[in-house]
Amino acid sequence: MNVEKAWTILKDHSFKRTKNREAILHYLAQQDGYTAAMDVSEFLKRENPGLSYDTVYRNLATFADLGILEETDLHGERQFRMHCDPGVHHHHFICTVCGRTKHIPSCPMDLLAVELPGVEIEGHKFEVYGKCPSCK
Ligand SMILES: [Zn+2]
Ligand SMILES: [Zn+2]
Ligand SMILES: [Zn+2]
């Protein structure tokens, strides 16, 4: 997902191109992994002191609903990152210190499905947490 693709999705859902939304998307596009809503808000406030945490948080939640962002829960906080390009199914390793992610190309669902006979599986979530090589 890049900023232009995000705007295509937002326009399809009648969201206006505002400076705040633009700033949030650009900031997340530069990050290498998950960032807490509070960190996004703190960073953007440096340039725009009038921007409230609520505005940032609401926009992040909207972007996640629209599939522009992926979200996870780390240290009891909602964290966001630009959505990986869809198409290739994969999972993430997430560093609990810096939030950086690493792709896991294989999926454990194939193994688990065997243990759920007669069930129609609609979706699943799988994340691995730990410390990345630079945070160890
Ligand atoms: Zn990914
Ligand atoms: Zn790390
Ligand atoms: Zn999977």
Per-domain boundaries in the chain: 3-82, 91-130
Q: How far is the CA of 112 from the centre of ligand 3 (A)?
A: 10
**How far, in Å, from the CA of 33 to the mean position of ligand 1?**
9
DSSP 33: B
Confirm or reject CATH 3.80.30.20 for domain 3-82, answering yes or no. no
Report helix angle 19-30 to 3-12, nearest 10.
Answer: 140
Contacts of 66 (CB under 8 A, 6+ apart): 9, 10, 13
Measure 126 CA to ligand 3 centroid, in angstroms. 7
pLDDT at 86 over 90: no
Distance CA 66, CA 64 (A): 5
Name the pairing type of β-strands 91-95 and 127-130: parallel
- Mean pLDDT on 131-136: 96
Q: How far does the centroid of ligand 1 lie from the alpha carbon of residue 104, in Å?
A: 8
Q: Which helix (H) or strand (E) holds 89?
A: none
Q: What is the pLDDT of residues 26-81, one digit of tens each?
A: 999 999 899 999 999 999 999 888 889 999 999 999 999 999 999 999 889 999 99
